Amino acid sequence: MAFPDDRPRRLRRTQALRDLVSQTSLSPSDFILPIFVREGIADPEPIRSLPGVLQHTVESATKMVDEARSLGVRGVMVFGVPFTKDDNGSEAWNRDGIAQVAIRSMRERCGDDLVILADLCLDEYTDHGHCGVLDEYGRVDNDATIDLYRRVACAQATAGVDMVAPSGMMDGQVGAIRRGLDEAGFSETGILAYSVKFASSYYGPFREAVNVEIAEGGDRKAYQQDFRNTRESLREVRLDISEGADMVMVKPAGSYLDLLARVAAESEVPVAAYQVSGEYAMVKAAAERGWIDERGIMLEQLIAIKRAGASVMLTYFALDAARAISST
């Protein structure tokens, strides 16, 4: 054949044609902005390994809510960084714990105009840095931990969250929290389950953001998933949905697009993906050196996550991406 019969390039000729046939687009309402609120600081503090992200005071965190809303972002995820930590993480369910105070303040500010979620875990609150309480051998005690998660869920619901987001990877946590919320009269409070959550080196900068160090060089491999596997992810999703998850999450996002696509194909509830701290930090670091185009990479990565099947994306780029989308 002397010339091609089939010419896919016809549809790529102009920007208008490309826009017309594009299959994936980003909207500010796709994003959830993670917000760190730290107790006992007078002014917001930068996080060295997360350029552009701050540990907020309650006041500055509440202002972030206004900024998010004005850009069309529809959700925030609150992480508390308490002043004091103990062996069972009791500040996590203290009525006046930092996360609860911040949630109340944000809710007062925005009414129902923004979805407020809270990360539900103990690692930010325990002095040993694990996501649950330890048994006499120093192992994370699954069933004792989920009892505490119920308390945290009720404290966050009382403070006014729309959804709690359990991230501790304890077996049965979603069911325990669902029952705990229902028994306390919070049947309308939802659960976004971190269902597919890997033991990942990509969480490095987050540990600085929440001042967490795991005792004795420990890790979370006994409860978070092994990144060599795929089968157990689908099992975790199935369990979480059967226990009452209203949404499920895959985390990290960028290195797990294969799983995200599989979960999106099989899940009957909306699927979220978390572009985590390490993913964000790598883009920032390379861009600072002038090695990559930050805006271009940011949008390309978020499009990839959406294209793989995420209906919601948690990302530290939420506000930057919302700005970039509205300016194109």
Joined together, the tokens standing for residue 10 give 């016809």
Note whether 119 binds ligand PBG by CB under 6 A.
yes
Mark the segment that binds ligand PBG (CB under 6 A) among 80-88, 119-127, 137-145, 320-328.
119-127
The verdict on 91 binding ligand PBG (CB under 6 A) reads: no
Please report the DSSP string for 205-261 in residue order.
HHHHHTT---GGG--STTTSBPTT-SHHHHHHHHHHHHHT-SEEEEES-GGGHHHHH
Scan for tokens 């409860």, then name that residue: 223
Among 7-15, 102-110, 116-124, 298-306, which window interacts with ligand PBG (CB under 6 A)?
116-124
Annotated catalytic residue within 63, 85, 221, 251: 251
Q: Which is nearer to ligand PBG, 74 or 220 (CB)?
A: 220
Cβ distance to ligand PBG smaller for residue 93 or 203: 203
- Comparing every residue's Cβ against ligand PBG, the nearest one is 206
- Which residue type does 229 have? N
Residues 195 and 308: their CA atoms lie apart, in Å, by 17
Measured from the CB atom, is 46 or 185 closer to ligand PBG? 46
Quick count: other Cβ atoms within 10 Å of Cβ 44? 18
Active site residue 284: no
Helices (H), 3-135: 15-21, 58-70, 98-110
* CA distances (Å), origin 73, targets 25, 305, 313: 15, 17, 11
Q: Which two tokens stand for residue 326?
A: 């509205």
Is the CB of 121 or the CB of 298 nearer to ligand PBG?
A: 121
| Sign of the alpha-carbon torsion through 237, 115, 315, 16 | positive
Of 62, 94, 126, 167, which lies in the binding site for ligand PBG, with binding defined by CB under 6 A?
167
Smallest distance, ligand PBG to C-beta of residue 119, A:
5
Q: Give the range of 5-13, 55-63, 117-125, 285-293 binding ligand PBG by CB under 6 A.
A: 117-125
List the x/- string, 202-241, binding to ligand PBG by CB under 6 A.
Answer: -x--x-------------x---------------------
Cβ distance 28 to 326 under 8 Å?
Answer: yes
Four-CA torsion 85, 86, 92, 94, nearest 10 degrees: -100
Active site residue 197: yes
Asked if 128 touches ligand PBG (CB under 6 A), the answer is no
Shortest reach from residue 279's CB to ligand PBG, in Å = 8
User: Which of positions 263-322 make contact with ligand PBG (CB under 6 A)?
Assistant: 276-277
Q: Which of 85, 197, 284, 306 is catalytic?
A: 197
Q: Which of 301, 260, 296 is nearest to 280 (CA)?
A: 301
**Whole-angstrom distance, CA of residue 293 vs CA of residue 278:** 17
Chain positions 175 to 204 lying near ligand PBG, rule: CB under 6 A, are 203
Please check whether residue 280 is in contact with residue 316, taking contact to mean a CB–CB distance below 8 angstroms.
Answer: yes
Contact with ligand PBG (CB under 6 A) among 37, 73, 121, 152: 121
Kindly state the tokens that stand for 80: 């508390």
- Which of 115, 273 has the CB closer to ligand PBG? 273
Footprint of ligand PBG on this chain (CB under 6 A)?
Answer: 119, 121, 123, 167, 203, 206, 220, 276-277
- Catalytic residues, by residue number, are 197, 251
